[in-house]
Amino acid sequence: MLYASLLLALPGCKEKELEPISPSLGKPGTVVVDKVVNIAGGAEITYTLPQAEDVLYVQANYVLADGKVREIKSSMYNNTLTIEGYNDQEEHIVKLYAVNRAQELSDPIEVTIRPEESPLQKVVRSMEITPDFGGARFSWENPTATPISIEMMAENDDHAMSLIKIYPTASTVAYQSLRGYDPEPRVFAAIVRDNWGNVSDTLFPVGRELTPVFEEQVPSKQMSIVRLLNDGDFNMYGLSDTYMIDGDVETFGHNSAQPSTFTIDMGSEVMLSRMKMWYRYYSNAYFCWGNPRYFTVYGRVDPPSMSGDWDEWTKIMDCEAIKPSGIADQWTETVEDVAEASAGLEFEFEYTPTYRYIRIEVTETWGMTIFAHPAEVTFYGKIVK
């Protein structure tokens, strides 16, 4: 009886209706468009807000090629909206609304825009697929630094196109290569996508087929370490500098102080295509401790002076090792990080003249140490003589 009495005493419950936080002061006036500047793939619209104290933001609605309505908002403190995502140069309608604190929309103002050539089309127009060592090189320009992805494909043994690599990038100038193919005619192709759902046609090289340039690895057995007077000593702690070129990725060289520079005689003149570097696996991690993060590669053809005079050397390229996960902690690695490092980090050369002697200067390690301990370095390209 007591329980029943308590139930009867409870006040009746009623569902709460969701209402705007602020009371309505009336539908806001319309936005006044001051200027429209067409840009790559869209437009910049400059406007003036209506004279109403409760206007919160301006909203733009427009339809992209996939048929979906895109909605963007701009704070009351701004006076410009950027419309993006078009992949043509046709006229499009953008509807602008003023929205107040009660979430009431003004009557729309229609703005006609005519986008300039889209970022995706700029990439498509600049795309070149050319023969490369062991495969094909895909190079392009992306002047607006718009995030895109390049899908690279190659003909398989059944003469069908297979997706080999997807490369996301926002770099203004970039290239990637597909390797591992014999020097026989083969079809290579690319597709470009952006973050707006736009996609290019399949892009082929001139003539559709191309023949990869013959590539080979410089044999470890023909390479040797050249110990110049101002190079580092990578024979510390009972280790040897020769371990860095012995073909065994489990062994490594180790110095104890700067400079962290070592010199290699490849044994032949080589037109270099790429190099790979393996790390010492230390304390269950690769991207750590004295493993090189930044280094510079130099080259020359003739035997160098034993003094190590830097004026005799030609700078080939600066290299940065990339940790796929981007995790800052040097002792934390993902499966992808481990897979990348254990396979050897690859660094591509632009087309270069031939070199025989290579000098590597480690400028920074993952652990910011004063020493370095690379495990293995290998070189690839065309051995000339």
Summarised one tens digit per residue, pLDDT across range 161-189 is 999 999 999 989 888 899 889 999 999 99
The reply to whether 60 and 183 lie within a common domain is: no
Predicted pLDDT at 350: 83
The reply to whether 207 and 295 lie within a common domain is: no
Collapsing DSSP states into helix, strand and coil, what is residue 45?
A: strand
The reply to whether 101 and 127 lie within a common domain is: no
Whether 280 has a pLDDT exceeding 50, the answer reads: yes
Gap between the Cα atoms of 36 and 47, Å rounded = 9
Using pLDDT thresholds of 50, 70 and 90, give the confidence band for residue 100.
very high
Average pLDDT along the chain: 93
| 42-77: pLDDT as tens digits | 999 999 999 887 899 999 999 998 888 999 999 999
Predicted pLDDT at 21: 60
Whether 155 has a pLDDT exceeding 50, the answer reads: yes
The reply to whether 192 and 289 lie within a common domain is: no
Distance of CA 49 to the CA centre of its chain: 39
Residues 21-29: what's their mean pLDDT? Answer: 78
The reply to whether 239 and 317 lie within a common domain is: yes
Gap between the Cα atoms of 357 and 306, Å rounded = 13
CATH number at residue 59: 2.60.40.10
Residues 137-153: what's their mean pLDDT? Answer: 95
| 78-98: pLDDT as tens digits | 999 999 999 999 999 999 999
Predicted pLDDT at 22: 64
Q: Does 374 map to a domain?
A: yes
Whether 340 has a pLDDT exceeding 70, the answer reads: yes
Using pLDDT thresholds of 50, 70 and 90, give the confidence band for residue 16.
low
Whether 5 has a pLDDT exceeding 50, the answer reads: no
The structure's pTM equals: 0.72
Predicted pLDDT at 313: 98
Gap between the Cα atoms of 371 and 235, Å rounded = 12
The reply to whether 288 and 223 lie within a common domain is: yes
As for how many domains the chain has, the answer is 3
Q: Does 17 map to a domain?
A: no
Domain boundary among 113, 139, 162: 113
The reply to whether 198 and 242 lie within a common domain is: no
The reply to whether 258 and 196 lie within a common domain is: no
Domain boundary among 186, 214, 242: 214
Gap between the Cα atoms of 156 and 82, Å rounded = 43
The reply to whether 109 and 171 lie within a common domain is: no
Collapsing DSSP states into helix, strand and coil, what is residue 333?
A: coil
Domain boundary among 169, 192, 214: 214
The reply to whether 78 and 130 lie within a common domain is: no
Whether 1 has a pLDDT exceeding 70, the answer reads: no
| C-alpha radius of gyration, the chain, whole number | 30
The reply to whether 44 and 96 lie within a common domain is: yes
Residue 349 per-residue DSSP state: P
Q: Does 23 map to a domain?
A: no
Whether 232 has a pLDDT exceeding 50, the answer reads: yes
Domain carrying residue 367 = 217-383
Predicted pLDDT at 17: 56
CATH number at residue 291: 2.60.120.260
Whether 15 has a pLDDT exceeding 70, the answer reads: no
Residue 83 per-residue DSSP state: E
Do residues 372 and 290 lie in contact, with contact meaning Cβ atoms separated by under 8 Å? yes
Using pLDDT thresholds of 50, 70 and 90, give the confidence band for residue 260.
very high
The reply to whether 160 and 264 lie within a common domain is: no
Residues 319-331: what's their mean pLDDT? Answer: 94
- What percentage of the chain exceeds 70 in pLDDT? 94
